[in-house]
């Protein structure tokens, strides 16, 4: 059985007003991930994704390949897994 993890991301670049949250939510659901995505006041996007590491990185790759999104930088860290979390949602 594949280990499940949770990652916290901050995305920099052209990530607001370009469909980032919609695309993240759509792709995360297709990949079977749970978590959330949210615009931040400083122009970044915050995301937490939970599931297999491979699926999480497929999500990030998908977002990076989606135009007009232009990811210029990513902060990433592994954080504690949240038991019982269901679904992926957009906040704000």
The tens digit of pLDDT for each residue in 61-78 reads 999 999 999 999 999 999
Q: Where are the alpha helices (DSSP H) in 2-91?
A: 20-30, 53-65
Give phi and psi for 57, each to the nearest 5: -70, -25
- The pTM of the full predicted model, rounded to 2 decimals, is 0.94
**Residues involved in catalysis:** 21, 39
Judge whether 37 and 20 are in contact, CB under 8 Å. yes
Residue 5 — very low, low, confident or very high, per pLDDT cuts 50/70/90? very high
* Residues shown for the chain: 92
| Torsion sign over Cα 22, 30, 84, 2 | negative
pLDDT tens digits, one per residue of 9-62:
999 999 999 999 999 999 999 999 999 999 999 999 999 999 999 999 999 999
**Ordered domains of the chain (ranges, CATH):** 10-82 (3.30.70.100)
Would you state the structure tokens that stand for residue 29, as one six-digit string?
A: 């659901």
Across the chain, the runs of DSSP E, i.e. the strands, are 4-14, 34-39, 45-52, 70-79, 88-91
């Amino acid at each position: 059985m594949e280990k499940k993890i949770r990652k916290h991301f901050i995305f920099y670049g052209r990530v607001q007003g370009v469909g980032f949250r919609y695309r993240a939510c759509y792709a995360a659901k297709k990949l079977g991930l749970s978590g959330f995505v949210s615009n931040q006041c400083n122009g970044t996007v915050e995301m937490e994704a939970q599931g297999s590491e491979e699926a999480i990185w497929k999500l990030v790759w998908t977002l990076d390949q989606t135009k007009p999104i232009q990811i210029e930088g990513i902060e990433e860290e592994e954080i504690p897994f949240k038991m019982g979390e269901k679904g992926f949602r957009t906040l704000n």
